Amino acid sequence: MNKRPPGSSLGHQTGLTLLEILVALTAGLLLLGAVLAVYVTSNQTSRQTDNSARLQENARYAFNAIEQAVRMTGFSGCAQNGNVFNLPNIYALAPPSDITGANGGSTGLKTHIAGTDVLVVRGATSQGAPLIQHTMPGTFTVANNCMGLRNGDQAIITNCDQSWSFQIQNSPAGNCATGANNQTDITSPSAPANNYWYKPGDMLFGYTTRTFYLTTNNNGIPALFLSQTSGANTPTPQDLVEGVTDMQVLYGEDTTVPSDGYADAYNDASAVANWANVVSVRITLTLSTGTGGSIVSKPFTTTIALRNRLP
């Protein structure tokens, strides 16, 4: 015969009622919902932060590429702009100026996005070669051809007195070494202006036109493109930054007489009175990133001075 332990009773055994179970389940669901809400919010915040960082990085890269080109606009060695002769008009959009643009107009290049602006800058390349000998009328022997100049490219020979721009008439050897065995002849179609004779130590550079514009890339996404040409050779478009949906350019004109190097007004390309008075540009790029409902779009603006036009 089984005996119950002292003090035990079936009537004292208890459990959870159905109501208590429902309350516990409800509390658990509320807690789980709160955790999920925090996770979703955190995930969205993380995605937005990543998108924002991506936008800023893309904008930084785009502006860096544009700034380098704009700041070198009009570079021709140490000669002043007034002593630069025979500058080329190799881009149908613009007059033979070292900066110009189009306010949503045709570029003559790959079709660009309607309503977006086009920026065109010109100048000598940052890399040049020292002159060894100038043989009249127009053969320039230089130390090397690190610039990679080709027949039909535009070049500029320069010193602190004057510069002469010309289209290369021969096929220079492509080398980047120094020494007598690596010297290269680069030929102009005529003698420099005023039959000027350039001396050993003067510098020869390539002369490049750079065009920034927006179009869709091979992925069908709007992007910032750079097209470079150095004369008769075909421009080479480069896809710089994906996700650039708009570019607007304003040109700062110095209308003070005499010039003080400061912009008195910013106008779009169609309203620029004299391109020779442009001393800075103000560029606004709108960039987008993300997919579906998490697309982030933001405009970025910078102002760039044309160093070679400053006093």
Digit-by-digit pLDDT tens for the chain (311 residues) are: 555 555 555 555 566 787 777 888 888 888 888 888 777 776 666 666 677 788 889 999 999 999 999 998 888 877 665 567 776 654 444 445 788 888 875 555 456 788 899 998 988 888 889 999 999 899 999 998 888 888 988 899 988 888 888 889 999 887 776 666 788 999 999 888 888 899 999 999 988 888 899 999 988 999 999 988 876 666 778 999 999 999 999 999 999 988 888 999 999 998 999 988 999 999 999 999 876 667 788 999 999 999 888 87
Q: Which residues contact 8 (CB under 8 A, 6 or more apart)?
A: none
Cβ atoms of 278 and 250 closer than 8 Å? no
Q: Domain limits of the chain?
A: 52-309
What's the whole-model pTM score?
0.78
What is the model's pLDDT at position 93? 42
- Give the helix ranges, DSSP H, for 100-184: none
Q: Which residues contact 258 (CB under 8 A, 6 or more apart)?
A: none
Cis, bond preceding 6 (omega within 30 deg of 0)? no
Give 76's DSSP letter: B
Q: Which residues contact 156 (CB under 8 A, 6 or more apart)?
A: 76, 77, 84, 124, 163, 164, 165, 166, 204, 205, 206, 207
Question: How far is the C-alpha of 246 from the C-alpha of 222, rounded, in Å?
Answer: 9
What is the model's pLDDT at position 91? 47
